[in-house]
């Protein structure tokens, strides 16, 4: 699509003007409570979303809203410190614009992380889950509308949206670190409300292990434009209806902070292995 490509070219040119066109291998999108991994990036270049042409501007509390470009574990990375969610009011194409931008910059690998509600009753809050697949019943796809064939084909495969070979690497790294890594299916809900207990029961019947409000639009766009993607969820709470108590955002933040150490170690070892 001419218009999208024009915007992406403009955004790419802006970022490359700041990074002096340095090669970047890996894109990182950090979920709630996990954003300070970006603070460990060395020789960082910070670019606020609000300064980047065509980028939406982040509105969620606790999200810094900037790109951090630099080195982490010997790899050249570009990190979204704060992401865009559909529930904030952005359109799906805005949500994935930064992902497409990374691809335009030549980034090959994408690591998507998030906080999620735990649907699998054999697991507990604090567990980390490798995303092996997803379910999205919510309408609207980020690729809806004219196709930008420069990015990817009109109809595209989703059977390896979460790269199986990279998944093997994550499994091995987790084992070496002594992390009891779960794996399963992430189900996308548009939010911002948490799910109802009935929705969670339905999701379980459909084969979902975790519920969340991010990652899937980005993973779809990433599959479209040819990224090799890894998704990791932090189970921050048991999903609705499993326990007696109501869900709240505070619990999500507290659990993600509690797990930060393992989570950070896993992502860093993955970076080393890539």
| Residue 237 appears among annotated catalytic residues | yes
Q: Please tell me whether residue 255 binds ligand HPA under the rule CB under 6 A.
A: no
Question: Which two tokens mark 233?
Answer: 């969820």
Q: Please tell me whether residue 15 binds ligand HPA under the rule CB under 6 A.
A: no
Q: Please tell me whether residue 239 binds ligand HPA under the rule CB under 6 A.
A: yes
Catalytic, out of 38, 49, 58, 85:
85
Count of helices and strands (H, E) across the chain: 7, 9
CA-wise closest residue to 170 among 270, 96, 41: 270
> Which span sits near ligand HPA by CB under 6 A: 35-43, 104-112, 113-121, 134-142?
113-121
Q: Please tell me whether residue 236 binds ligand HPA under the rule CB under 6 A.
A: yes
Least distance CB 32 / ligand HPA (angstroms): 7
Residue with tokens 């109501």: 246
Sequence-ordered list of residues with C-beta below 8 angstroms from that of 63, at least 6 positions apart, any chain:
32, 35, 81, 82, 83
Q: Which of residues 37-66 bind ligand HPA (CB under 6 A)?
A: none
For ligand HPA, which residue of 115, 143, 232, 266 counts as binding (CB under 6 A)?
Answer: 115
| Residue 87 appears among annotated catalytic residues | yes
Distance of alpha carbon 133 from the chain centroid: 13
Q: Do the beta carbons of residue 110 and residue 222 sit within 8 Å? A: yes
Question: Which two tokens mark 190?
Answer: 């548009």
Toward ligand HPA, which CB reaches closer, 240 or 266?
240
Residue with tokens 């992902």: 99
* Residue 255 parent element (H or E): helix 249-273
Distance of alpha carbon 66 from alpha carbon 164, whole angstroms: 30
| Residue 134 appears among annotated catalytic residues | no
For ligand HPA, which residue of 99, 161, 211, 270 counts as binding (CB under 6 A)?
Answer: 211
Least distance CB 51 / ligand HPA (angstroms): 29
Helix (H, G, I), strand (E, B) or coil at 109: strand
Catalytic, out of 48, 87, 251, 258:
87
Q: Please tell me whether residue 112 binds ligand HPA under the rule CB under 6 A.
A: no
Catalytic, out of 58, 114, 120, 214:
214
Q: Please tell me whether residue 116 binds ligand HPA under the rule CB under 6 A.
A: yes
Toward ligand HPA, which CB reaches closer, 104 or 115?
115
| Residue 135 β-bridge partners | 187
Tally the C-alpha atoms within 13 A of residue 195's C-alpha that lie toward its C-beta: 27
Toward ligand HPA, which CB reaches closer, 79 or 247?
247
Catalytic residue ranges? 32, 63, 85, 87-88, 115, 213-214, 237, 249
């Amino acid at each position: 699509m001419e218009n999208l490509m024009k915007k992406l070219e403009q955004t790419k040119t802006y970022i490359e003007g700041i990074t002096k066109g340095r090669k970047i291998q890996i894109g990182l999108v950090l979920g709630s409570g996990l954003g300070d991994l970006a603070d460990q990036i060395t020789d960082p270049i910070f670019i606020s979303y609000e300064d980047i042409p065509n980028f939406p501007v982040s509105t969620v509390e606790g999200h810094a809203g900037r790109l951090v470009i630099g080195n982490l574990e010997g790899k050249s990375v570009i990190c979204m410190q704060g992401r865009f969610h559909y529930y904030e009011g952005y359109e799906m194409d805005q949500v994935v614009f930064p992902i497409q931008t990374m691809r335009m910059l030549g980034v090959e690998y994408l690591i998507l992380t998030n906080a999620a509600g735990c649907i699998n009753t054999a697991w507990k809050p604090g567990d980390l889950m490798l995303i092996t697949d997803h379910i999205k019943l919510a309408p609207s796809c980020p690729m809806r509308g004219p196709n930008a064939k420069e990015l990817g084909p009109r109809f595209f495969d989703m059977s390896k949206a979460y790269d199986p070979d990279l998944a093997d690497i994550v499994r091995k790294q987790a084992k070496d670190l002594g992390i009891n890594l779960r794996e399963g299916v992430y189900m996308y809900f548009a939010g911002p409300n948490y799910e109802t207990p009935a929705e969670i029961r339905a999701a379980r019947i459909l084969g979902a292990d975790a519920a969340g409000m991010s990652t899937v639009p980005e993973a779809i766009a990433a599959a479209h434009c040819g990224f090799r993607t890894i998704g990791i969820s932090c189970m921050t709470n048991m999903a609705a209806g499993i326990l007696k108590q109501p869900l709240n955002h505070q619990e999500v933040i507290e659990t993600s902070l509690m797990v930060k150490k393992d989570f950070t170690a896993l992502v860093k070892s993955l970076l080393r292995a890539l």
